[in-house]
Amino acid sequence: MEEGDSGGDVKELQKTLNDAGFEVTETPTIYFGPKTSGAVEEFQQANGLIVDGIAGPNTWEALDTSTASAPDALSGLEEGDSGDRVIELQRDLNEAGFPVTDNPTTYFGPKTREAVREFQRSYQLEDNGIADENTISELDMVLNNTGSASASGVYKAGDDSEYIKELQRDLNEAGFHVTDEPTTYFGPRTETSVENFQKAEGLSVDGVAGANTLEALEEVNEAEPESEPEETNESEDTDSLSEGMSSDRIQALQEDLNEAGFHVTDEPTTYFGPKTKEAVKEFQEDNDLTADGAAGTKTLSALEGVLKTKQEAEKKESEEESEEASTSNDLLSINDEGEEVQELQEKLNEAGFHVMDDPNAYFDEDTETAVEEFQQEYELAIDGVAGPETLAKLDEVQEEEENTDPGVLKAESTGQAVVDLQEDLHQLEYFQGTYTEEYNSETSDAVAAFQREHGLAIDGIAGPNTLDAIDGELNQSAPGTLRGKTVVVDPGHGGYDGGAAANGLEEKDIVLDTGLKLKSDLEAMGATVVMTRETDRYLSLNERTEVANNANADAFVSVHVNAGGGVGDESYWYGEHEAERSERLAEDVQEQLIEATGATDRGVKEGNFQVIRDTNIPAILAEIGFIDSSTDAANLREEDYLDDTSEGLTGGVDQFFEEK
């Protein structure tokens, strides 16, 4: 392998060089660039090899010899030890799914000891918290994926291997659907399915597929073997679905009929009514089956075949389009220059994947890294090359942001956003004119007056800084018992991570609607509210906790919807950081939530969820119902019920601060 090569072998080479003490990067990639070549040359020089920066057979053999004793190099570390070996141990534990810290240090403290103990317990080792020889040997085995997928692996968000594809298939089989076409990448959908499975099986909910989760998944799938269908007439088929019946299988049937081109309804339900019967009959007639309107084994099997054929055709078409795209010259990669590269850098900056403050039109390593991070975030092929698929996704993300954010209001701006601005300025006594949808001279003068009194650039244009200052002024002047308090509201999931789904509902939509209502209610009581998301977009758990910890806030409320066969509301807190106050916040919110909604009270519980575990202020996670419960789902469809839910959450926060 040499500079310019790419693929999984390059990533393995970078890891091996890191292990041998010739660091390439803290986050290995699939691209063999100048840093990799430089590390290879340093290793070759140190080991008396020909120095050419190419990883050939002799270099690989020397690397294998150099790292063969690596496990022993870390063995014997325990609490109180310090040095570079501790940094390496913490990184290995992080990578194996037993996080110590985002920024490894040279000190072996209580957090490192606890992570070692968790690893030891997961792999049936003596849990003494000491990184002994057996522990380091097992850790090395896990990191190199030498164990079986069902017994020795720990899989988490960001992992990429063939074992992930097997994990996705197992989750699909157990009823926790990830994707129809399993991949080797552990993305947000896989993480959500793992969390839902863990929740349903009473396991620790962390989204990491460790030994306990994999063992439980294997047991579930072994306990429900598929049986060969017996030959039977449609009318005698005991598994037949027919008019008047109601079950989750009927919702799946309606969805499949829709996809096959035999439309039932835009919002599939669990009830088999006349429309479903008519669609089944049309399908049967079209496929030479007995047209009785009952979906028995033969009909369901034929429907599955039609869908499979359709999916294969779509996949083939997609592959042909990808192949055609890959042969085009519409690619931007390392060392490219020009206006297109500068435009790419600007778009990456705007999308939150920072390249540099002043884009320079040169595709360097920073640009490549930003492209890789963008591709990983949106589950694209991670190659650091801005090809048609990556560029199209980047345009799509930018368009979504433009459609959901008024951005800058200035002369010639029109619409409701202008009216909202005029109303806000009127409330602050800067605008005295008539509300219109046009950004006229009176509006510009009012904005300039506000800017002058608040030390902002005076241009009469309502940009982000001016709009933020207006919001801040409004919040300070608002009445209510929460004046002076800042609350972070976190609607869970979002974007391609839909969360739990059932009864025609998706968790991400319900919690966003509720979160926006909660924002409005809290602001009406004088609070300043920081939202982790206000649109249907994806944020990682780390990004959510970063917002919470950087907002200088007084409380954090994460809103979710439950799944797994229960009914009612429950609130979670975590026993670290602000443990006592977090527990009291959860108790106050739960009390007010039940009083406002009349929901079944499932109580207050301690839970190891990252968004509350890694947040340094009083923090709770509220589950506002079960999406797979017909009773709760019916409530969650109603705006009035979500209004009541927001009222309960607001009341709980208010009660918490009154008791302070």
For the beta carbon of residue 114, count every other beta carbon within 10 angstroms. 14
Tokens of 582: 């977090």
Query: Residue 618: its pLDDT value, please?
Result: 95
> Tell me, what DSSP letter sits at residue 241?
B
> Tell me, what DSSP letter sits at residue 202?
T
Tokens of 266: 């835009």
Tokens of 115: 């992570």
Rounded CA separation 53/56 (Å): 9
221 residue type, one letter:
N
Rounded CA separation 211/636 (Å): 35
Question: Is CATH 1.10.101.10 the classification given to domain 71-143?
Answer: yes
For the beta carbon of residue 110, count every other beta carbon within 10 angstroms. 9
3-state secondary structure of 539: coil
Are the beta carbons of 111 and 101 closer than 8 angstroms? yes
Which of these, 624, 573, 635, 583, lies nearest to 601 by C-alpha position?
624
160 residue type, one letter:
D
Angstrom CA distances, 143 to 19, 95, 96, 154, 606, stand at 12, 7, 6, 9, 31
63 residue type, one letter:
L
pLDDT along the chain (660 residues), means of 10: 76 82 77 84 88 89 68 69 84 83 82 89 84 86 53 70 85 83 80 86 85 86 52 52 82 90 84 86 90 90 88 76 53 92 90 85 93 89 92 84 62 85 89 90 94 89 87 68 89 92 94 96 90 93 94 95 92 91 96 96 94 95 95 94 96 87
Residues ≥6 apart with Cβ < 8 Å to 374: 348, 351, 353, 380, 390, 393, 394
431-474: pLDDT as tens digits? 998 889 899 999 999 999 999 998 888 889 988 889 889 988 87
Rounded CA separation 544/374 (Å): 17
Of 507, 578, 583, 623, which is the active-site residue?
623
Query: Residue 536: its pLDDT value, please?
Result: 92
Angstrom CA distances, 360 to 282, 290, 364, 373, stand at 60, 68, 10, 19
Which of these, 537, 305, 315, 273, lies nearest to 404 by C-alpha position?
537
Residues ≥6 apart with Cβ < 8 Å to 288: none
Question: Is CATH 1.20.120 the classification given to domain 339-403?
Answer: no
338: Cα separation from own chain's centroid: 34
Tell me the chain's radius of gyration from C-alpha atoms. 28
Rounded CA separation 651/585 (Å): 11
One of 1.10.10.10, 3.40.50.300, 3.50.50.60, 1.10.101.10 is the CATH number of 240-325, namely 1.10.101.10
Q: Taking the CA atoms of 103, 106, 67 and 122 in sequence, report the sign of the dihedral they define.
A: negative
Question: Which residues make beta-bridge pairs with 386?
Answer: 332
Q: What is the dihedral of CA 68, 71, 74, 78, to 10 degrees?
A: -160
Number of H helices, E strands in the chain: 25, 8
28 residue type, one letter:
P
Question: Is CATH 2.60.120.380 the classification given to domain 408-462?
Answer: no
139-165 as b/e: b if 16+ CB within 10 A: bbbbbebebebbebbbbbbebbbebbb
Q: Is 641 left (phi over 0), alpha (psi -120 to 50) or beta?
A: alpha
Q: Catalytic: 215?
A: no
Q: At what angle do helices 34-46 and 8-19 cross, to 10 degrees?
A: 50
Rounded CA separation 37/600 (Å): 62
Rounded CA separation 280/291 (Å): 8
Q: What is the dihedral of CA 226, 231, 233, 239, to 10 degrees?
A: -10
Helix or strand run (H / E) with residue 477: helix 464-477
Angstrom CA distances, 169 to 172, 173, 195, 282, stand at 5, 6, 16, 32
Fold of 162-223: Muramoyl-pentapeptide Carboxypeptidase; domain 1 (1.10.101)
Are the beta carbons of 243 and 272 closer than 8 angstroms? yes
270-311: pLDDT as tens digits? 878 888 899 999 999 988 889 999 988 889 989 988 888 888
- Return the biggest CA–CA distance within the chain: 82
Query: Residue 83: its pLDDT value, please?
Result: 78
Query: Residue 151: its pLDDT value, please?
Result: 36
Q: Taking the CA atoms of 336, 340, 342 and 344 in sequence, report the sign of the dihedral they define.
A: negative
- CATH homologous superfamily for the domain 8-68: PGBD-like superfamily/PGBD (1.10.101.10)
Break the chain into its structural domains and give their ranges: 8-68, 71-143, 162-223, 240-325, 339-403, 408-462, 486-659
Rounded to a whole number of angstroms, the distance between the first and last alpha carbons of the chain is 63
Q: Would strands 569-573 and 505-506 be described as parallel, antiparallel, or unpaired? A: unpaired
Fold of 486-659: Aminopeptidase (3.40.630)
Asked if the domains at 240-325 and 486-659 fall in one CATH topology, the answer is no
Rounded CA separation 64/77 (Å): 23
Half-sphere exposure of 71 (CA within 13 A, CB side): 14
Rounded CA separation 140/147 (Å): 10
Tokens of 559: 């809103």
